[in-house]
A and B are shown apart, each in its own frame.
Chain A
Amino acid sequence: MNKIKKWLLSISPSLIAILSGVFAGFIIMLISNPANAFSGLIVILKGGWNSGMKGVGQVLYFATPIILTGLSVGFAFKTGMFNIGASGQLVVGALASIYVGINWTFLPGHLHWIVAMLMGTLAGMVWGMLVGLLKAYRNVNEVISAIMLNYIGMYGVNYLIKSSNSMYDILRNQTANVAASAAIPKAGLDNIFYNLIGKFKDVSSVNAGIIIAVVVAIIIHILLNRTTFGYELKACGHNRYASQYAGVNENRAIILSMAIAGALSGMAGALMFLAPPSGMHIHVQEVLAPQGFNGIAVALLGLSHPIGIIFAALFIAHITVGGGYLQSLRYMREIIDIIIGLIIYFSAFSLLMRNIVLRATRKRKQYAGEEEAGV
């Protein structure tokens, strides 16, 4: 009983943040298309349910990469670092997995997609680790190096795609299709998430990626809360002096935690793009992957808690999919993007504001003298 109360209390800030986000979105809808605002709100809130089981499957599909980028940001955050580099790590991971997915066709059966996914994860890991190394040995602020690596990653990937024969689909200006054996399997999910149109099975894009993401979240949860490694990372995150005093190797903790954060984002990239021909491809354009930044919102809403992050990602995917159906109410594409973006970021920022206010009041309480942290 007490446990439930505590739990409710701990997630209530996220719920309040979401409500205020939805409210802010509603205001924009009232402004842009007042007649349909209310029914529009219903559409958004219905999310995937607007189109039955397929829609629900789409929610899971969109949730997959942002669970992982959310974990990436949240994990780094637990260890005291702000990983704004998820975008770059994601795209680098995506390219590595696509490369393997297209070229390493000698890999038999399931091994192909698994290796492709792991190579993507590894590439993201290297990209994240660079940030950690720079911070540990050169004391470079992780935000600055991560932002730079986002752009280096994006332009570098574009360059590599264009200069590659095998990977470039010049007509569509995007990456070529990966081999069928490199696509993440459906794992039976296509038998659950589909709509019947007459005899035709309209199948959702969801695949085993969502299962992998959830399992990874649970592993990260265990890593953080049950292992000595997690203990060290959290100690560093909360108070680096105390962790020094305890004999924790701080540089190692910084490097490893950024490496893991990078690996999570890299895996997000792999799961997104290891898709059948009808699925996603990297477009050669000068845009940072939005999933990376959505990861920040997800981590904030999920309070950096791995399980919370799963639900936060599901919520954001739900709203995003719901927004897609707004077009039927004659909302313009751009307005929809604004509304959805507003809901997501307003939620995240209202939570951020709340944390700042809380911290400020706690500071005030610390002013009582007994509780000042060694800042």
Chain B
Amino acid sequence: MKRHLVSTADLGRDDALLILDTAEELSQFSGRAVKKLPTLRGRTVVNLFFEDSTRTKTSFEVAEKRLSADVINFSAKGSSVSKGESLKDTALTLQAMGADAVVIRHHASGAPARLAGSDWLHGSVINAGDGTHEHPTQALLDAFTLRRHLNPGPGHDLAGRRVAIVGDVLHSRVARSNVHLLTTLGAEVVFVAPPTLLPIGIETWPCRVSYDLDSVLPEVDAVMMLRVQRERMNAAFFPTEREYSRRYGLDGTRLAKLPEHAVVMHPGPMVRGMEITAEVADSPRCTVVEQVANGVSVRMAVLYLLLGGAVFADGHADAPRTELQEAAQ
């Protein structure tokens, strides 16, 4: 039974569509003068960030506040908490505070899975990015954005759409979450990267792999550029920044090779001049800003559904209907 969101691999098609449809409805509310909803009044949501991430943290915080949750920010970066052993102690503290949900960002792959699988705390665990493992809400907002552009409408999936994910797949939690989710939604994923930046065993993933960006561009409905850290160069993943952007960067010329309707996505923060030129980043086909707005709606949907007792995949809601519920009707 999953009352957590640790990996998009745990989401079935119906779960994923429920989240996207809910987010679509909730996105309406962001257009109103009064954006706040009373839904999570009295619920405590903790943002537990062991790693800096202004964007993700802000997005979650906005989502939590729009749902009227009590928000506690627990920044573990740099404090004594950043040392490994204390994940457990931190969790016990949060449990004592009565956290109904913990949004966790951690530099170690698997830390959210560890929290969710432990008896250290009882609230829902929402993975806000763990090491080089997963970042499920990012994938959900990417899917949400893609659906709006490629197949809008409640209940719609991404069947038959083709998405290229380009760049440092090896170190990317966004790529891992996206390959599961997009595949679940019926899309075809093509990873494009130099062989050094693809994980061993990728041939078993539900995706295609290409080393040649130019040949892939004309046949995709969307291209998602992953951030490439310059420091990777020092570990010989690629020779120089210049060579990387020449072979795998998205510039105006390459943009022109995309089909008319195709969009350019980026999870941010962008490294302009590396994986994407300013010209492309600022073009109307680039959905970066839109993705940020969509992130809030998607995170609201996840929080609402998890705290409301929805159970993703292989399970059913915890509480059977009780006398109390009957009386409350």
Partners in one complex: no
